[in-house]
Amino acid sequence: MIRRFTWVELLVVIIIIAVSLAILIPVLNSHREAQRRATCINNSRQIGLAFQSYASTFGNAFPPSAKITNAADGTQTVGGMSFLVHVGSFMGIGETVIYFHLGPRGYNADPEDTSNKAVVEAMNTQFSEFICPSGPSRQASSAQPQAGITNYKAMGATTRGSLVMVVDPQATPPYGTMAPINDTLPIHPDGAIFPAIGNLPVAAYLDGLSHTICIIETIDEAASRWTVGKEATLVGMPQASSPTGTTPQPGFNYFVQPGGDYFTWGPNSAVAKAGLRTFLSYDFGPNGADAGKYEDAGFGKTPPAYGPSSMHPGVVICCMGDGSTQAMSKQIDAANLFFLITKSNSDPFCDPGP
């Protein structure tokens, strides 16, 4: 006589399987995310090493995030190929695309000239080294994105107000006085890799390369073509005009008001009292509460102002000027982040306390 499972026994087996899956699936997801984060870190590190190779080749200077063009009337515009086009050749990628499709003068081509078939083909060429495997396009579909995009951007400035300095030298910078670097860079924002006429001297990074974030990932893929310079530049904090600001206030003339305490952090810091927060404090995920607020209100008139963010739980991958890579906490104090994304502010880091 064959003994069959009773309904009770079958129910017990089903419960055991369900409990096992409930335990196993999160473990597998965590393992997959760990692998994706490791790949993202490696991508960032490869870009950082390419920066070092570029500097060694071109007179100890980094490439700008985009090219500044001086018009006949004295105004400036942001355009040109991105820094990724310049450093890509040191990664064994990019160079083939640019030279094969655009010729030896490809670096000076207009990356948004859609009438140029070679430019369009280069723009649509995707490299896995420029894509975070945890990014929105990879999470939404296993297929490659249709356009050539990147999740790794140059840290151009702290705020959009500072980044505007490159197109309006008469503008009032939000944090202190923007001193000239040299004759080819008459004025500059406070970020590390910003749009400029020529290369950026490493000697201008007074805080030290190991204390300055040059490259950082972003979840944004709406305006992130890897060849387009102005789409490869971002800021670290929302400007007062940003739709993400709940209580917009004018920025200080200096990050800490004259006579203020540089070693005040958290809710009592000057930046917190000014109502400024980092983009890291927002959820820009496809289903996040802030998903529709990513682009700054001034996006169409000034250099882009989307900020650092990621699909990685709790961290954003960044690359310092010396090529080292860090997984930075999304809960980083706004004051600490400010000094990390500026290149010449003396970096008064301290323990923010509990």
What the block records as the tokens of 240 is: 């007062």
Pairing of strands 67-70, 76-79: antiparallel
Q: What is the mean pLDDT of each run of 10 residues along the chain (354 residues)?
A: 70 81 70 89 94 93 88 77 87 68 70 83 85 78 66 88 75 58 63 88 87 90 85 77 40 45 62 67 64 51 69 91 91 80 72 48
Residue 287, phi then psi, degrees to nearest 5:
-110, 15
Is residue 214 within 8 A of residue 51, CB to CB? The reply is yes
Is residue 334 within 8 A of residue 237, CB to CB? The reply is yes
Does the pTM surpass 0.95? The reply is: no
So what's the pLDDT on residue 41? 95
What element of type H or E holds 320?
Answer: strand 315-320
d(CA 231, CA 306): 9
Closest by CA position to 123, among listed 139, 140, 137, 109: 109
So what's the pLDDT on residue 318? 95
So what's the pLDDT on residue 253? 38
Taking the domains of the chain in order of start, what are their residue ranges?
39-340
So what's the pLDDT on residue 246? 42
So what's the pLDDT on residue 301? 52
- In sequence order, the 6+-apart residues with CB closer than 8 A to the CB of 101 are 118, 119, 121, 122, 125
d(CA 26, CA 281): 25
